[in-house]
Structure 1
Amino acid sequence: MITGKDLLDLGYKPGKWFKEAIDYANSNQLNGDSLKNYLETVRPKYIDPYSEPVDFYQNIKAETEEEISNVENVISTMKDLMKTPTLVGGAVMPDACPTGDGQIPVGGVVIARNAIHPSMHSADICCSVMMTNFGHIDPKIVLDYAHSVTHFGGGGRDEFSFLPKELEERMAENRFLNNERSLNFARHHLATQGDGNHFLFIGRSRKTGETVMVTHHGSRGFGANLYTQGMKLAEFFRREISPKTLEKNAWIPYDTDEGKEYWEALQIVREWTKLNHTTIHNATVEKLKFDPVDRFWNEHNFVFKEGDLFYHAKGATPLDDKFVPDSKDGLRLIPLNMSEPVLIVKGNTTDNNLGFAPHGAGRNISRGRHKKNNSHRTFEEIFHEETKGLDVRFFSGNIDISELPSAYKNAQTVKNQMKEFGLGEVVDEIIPYGCIMAGDWEIDAPWKIKAREKYKARQENSEKTDE
């Protein structure tokens, strides 16, 4: 009688396949070589990481002492990442920032065969930018009206929470999105922009002088909830087919039912994110009572499919129209920082760019490190120095110096390397007038206010006791 212990003694790892194998072996009275031969045909075939990294293109170079460590870390991280056994190619953009631990860096592009890696599109699925050209109108008026209709920081809002019927129906048919949590996020996070480096930017076209609004944000809680489910599913497959692959680089095979439904869920999240941008832009248009001249958008944090190849871009802008089904004249938006223009670019696929361009200026050091480096100065002092001549607003009222220009890579360096490596041609620039960002909204978050009140109450009680 064959048991699970016998299989363990033969060196096999336990799994769901044990039960069926044991039943078959006992039914057919297998033992010795006949048992071993049978087990070899039914055991899971593990896919091990490559011993050497797949080659990737390095569209980046260090031009200052500060950048040397950053670039070295990016390349080291990519080398670890490119051992993932699904990958067949990759590239690094000039704005790349390391994430460490073998994870795809921001500013990285990798091509996987028959595999979707949730960590390689990250929790901020479909982080993207949209522009609306308002024609010849005072940029301050547009910024004021946009400020009155947008929302940054935590939580959601109810006044824009109506979803199109078709979108809700598609969600209801998808195993990853047909739940109350997804529906609540999709409704209540509509017309919100979140925090971090997300922004609402107003400027003027260098070519025409027309006023243009650009918004930058992702899919908020709706996308983050899908990401969480995707990572859990990818981990299940990793344990089953590639246990030696790093957990963060786990994948969902596309040729499974789960893979196809996850791909469809990503497309729904993309549609919602575009709707999120559009809702804010349309609300501004309605307030202004001013017809827009032009509008287009593009994502820079997503997965793009071509046959059985999946291009994962984490902080990289798709240049090739084959990746952007709703492309507008091949034009793409690449923001740099609040004091620099938003670039309007177009370009073609080359061997080294894989059909992508940078997504912005990137960082050389972390937010925390930047704050520490500037701890000898007040936030107000830094803010006034770096935003001189601009109308920069923090929605929460609290300055976040980790989003000021000095927190980012040198914008001119990024533009120079775009040209050097053939990463898109700049056809226009939106010269900054001003922008809105979340700021340090957590200072006044409900849980922090509550904690401050508790602390104050304890202090008062302590003083009374002392009396």
Structure 2
Amino acid sequence: MAKQKLDIKLLSAIDFPSDVARSVALNIMNRHFKHTPNDEKLKIIQHVLETPESYLQHATLGLLAHKVAAKILLAEPFEVFQLNDEPKHFDVFGSKHIEVSAINQMALAMRLPVAEKGALMPDAHQGYGLPIGGVFATKNAVVPYGVGMDIGCRMSLTILEQTDAYVEDKRYELKKALENYTHFGNDGFLDFDQHHDVLDHPDFSLMPLLKKLHGKAVKQLGSSGSGNHFVEFGVVTLYEGNQTSLPAGRYAALLSHSGSRSLGANIAQHYTNIAMNTCKLPREAKHLAWLDLNSEAGEEYWRSMNLAGEYAKACHDRIHKNLCEALGIQQVLNIENHHNFAWRERIGDDDYIVHRKGATPAAKDVLGIIPGSMTAAGYIVRGLGNDVSLNSAAHGAGRKMSRDRAKNSFTMSSLKKELQSKNVTLIGGGVDEAPLAYKDIDLVMKSQTTLVAIEGEFLPRVVRMAKD
């Protein structure tokens, strides 16, 4: 392809924050993008100007991104906040299962000027911003890292028309369906067409950031992330007197765990950067920067977060639909819930913004799913509406080992023996997700009997995860 040289005249259509930025852009394009068509060069420059935070580490575009980001930082008003000397009170459920670092991290969050209420769930462990298992309430302020990078990470359980015997009788067919109709990780996507109404949401056209992310959202629809995300077939046992619409018994079921993919991660990073640039906090708390929901950025984040939540649900809907259609089976009941999200909720006599980062909504009689591990039971639960926990419960067993420690502690041979002993077939996965890297789910459940009632359980049988 012939070289195409960019000149100042062609750049006149772009509004640069400074003459220096314009000069840097021109130099970068003509040195490093010689064979790129000029219209494509203009698109690249425009994207850097609009989302400089995405390019700060880029080998060639990083210099331009830093020039733009520095100009924005100087132009945007910001306010410096100090932490309160003492944290506001927060209740800890199952403290004997929780590492001190997670409790300290929650205490730091409760020193924020916007902190109103908090609680720590029994599966809690250290994370970024809020600890995983942290529940944090404010008044009209949202902390992007209080929701997390994987906005709308959620559980979805479909109970099927088949009995439990179907899972054992059709194990090979279930394995092949998972291999052919699910996809994990950031690279690639499902190789068949699918659609969901969420892709036509008007905010994808109205908001510049979402417009840029729409194409990848289309490609990643119906797929899952890496880490502890999974899609699995198993057996559900509904207990006598359960509050679902089905009678007690044993059923074949499909369970999935994942979030909003690249869409949510980009939204989280973009608005966290804005929050950190406009809400200055001491170094140890900088990732807990918040956005006022009356501000333009706060309103944009709230709308984007909710769209990411809808997209996460759409991915689960497609996963379950794709698998059921491939196998020729029917769904009879679906139970689902977010566990990385923020909600407007009334607690007591006041309205709050309730952040649940790795916590299950557990308002009165609300159904949810709390998984165990790739071999341990998960539980169908009904919320008891406990205000002390901000109407929340654990979102899983919770890690007791970091991924690195798990990799150094277990072998694939020991993992295979564990899977065999529990009659579980695993596709993908790795020792970082070994069952012993997690807390005992039954001990976690015993620590929250005032938060949820157990309606039934799910036992995994054929599990697919991302490759280690």
TM class by shorter chain equals 0.7 to 0.9
Cα deviations by residue, 1:239-271 (Å, 9 ceiling, x for unpaired): 3xx567821011111011221121111111111
Does the Cα contact within 8 Å between 2:384 and 2:453 map onto a contact in 1?
Answer: no
CA distance in structure 1 between the partners assigned to 2:182 and 2:357 by the alignment: 26
Deviation track 1:10-48 (CA, whole Å, cap 9, x = no partner) reads: xxxx97699xxxxxxxxxxxxxxxxxxxxxxxxx87542
The alignment covers a number of residue pairs equal to 375
| Aligned CA distance change for structure 1 residues 370 and 244 (closer, same or farther; 3 Å) | closer
Does structure 2 conserve the Cα–Cα contact (< 8 Å) formed by 1:161 and 1:189? no
Contact 1:48/1:245 (CA < 8 Å) preserved in 2? Answer: no
Paired position in structure 1 for 2:35: none
- How far 1:49 sits from its partner (Å)? 1.6
Unaligned runs of 5+ in 1: 1-13, 19-43, 322-328, 441-467
In the TM superposition, what whole-angstrom CA distance separates every residue of 1:154-189 from its partner, at most 9, and x where no partner exists? 31325246453763433111243122xx11221111
Tell me if the contact between 1:155 and 1:189 (Cα under 8 Å) persists in the aligned partners: no
Q: Which residue of 1 aligns with 2:309?
A: 270
Mapping 1:246-395, distance limit 5 Å: 246-306=285-345, 309-320=352-363, 330-374=366-410, 378-395=411-428
Structure 1 contact 345–424 (Cα < 8 Å) conserved: yes
**Correspondent of 2:271 among 230, 236, 250:** 230
2:458 and 2:464 mapped to 1: Cα distance? 16
1:387–1:154 distance in 2 versus 1, CA, 3 Å: farther
Distance, in Å, in 1 between the alignment partners of 2:344 and 2:451 is: 20
TM-score, normalisation: structure 1: 0.75
C-alpha distance in 2 between matches for 1:154 and 1:17: 33
Letter in 1 for 2:394: P
Q: 1:177 aligns with which of 188, 193, 210?
A: 210
CA distance, structure 2, for counterparts of residue 162 and residue 434 of structure 1: 26
- Work out whether residues 133 and 293 of structure 1, in 8 Å CA contact, stay in contact via their aligned partners in 2: yes
Alignment-derived partner of residue 57 in structure 1 = 91
- Aligned-residue RMSD, C-alpha: 2.4
Paired with 1:134 and 1:408, the residues of 2 have a C-alpha distance of: 28
Q: Percent identity?
A: 29
Aligned equivalents of 1:15, 1:169: Cα separation in 2: 33
Contact conserved, 1:386 with 1:404, CA < 8 A, in 2?
A: no
| Cα distance, 1:401 vs structure 2 | 0.8
The Cα of 1:273 is off from its aligned counterpart by: 0.8
Q: Which structure is larger by alpha-carbon Rg, 1 or 2?
A: 1
Structure 1: distance between partners of 2:175 and 2:159: 13
1:3 matched residue in structure 2: none
Counterpart Cα distance in 2 of 1:244 and 1:120? 17
The two structures have a TM-score, normalised by structure 2, of: 0.75
- Alignment of 1:212 onto 2:253: yes
- Between structures 1 and 2, the one with greater strand share: 2
Task: Indicate if the aligned counterparts of 2:174 and 2:462 stay in contact, CA closer than 8 A.
Answer: no
Residue 200 of structure 1 pairs with residue 228 of structure 2: no
Contact 2:199 2:214 in 1 (8 A): no
Residue 178 of structure 1 aligns to a residue in which SS? Answer: helix
Change (3 A) 1:165 1:269: closer
Instruction: Return the offset for 1:358.
Output: 0.3
Letter in 2 for 1:86: V
Change (3 A) 1:45 1:200: closer
- Bigger Cα displacement from structure 2, 298-307 vs 209-218: 298-307
Which residue is equivalent to 2:54? none
- Residues in 2 aligned to 1:165 and 1:267: alpha-carbon distance in whole angstroms: 11
- In structure 2, the partner of 1:460 is none
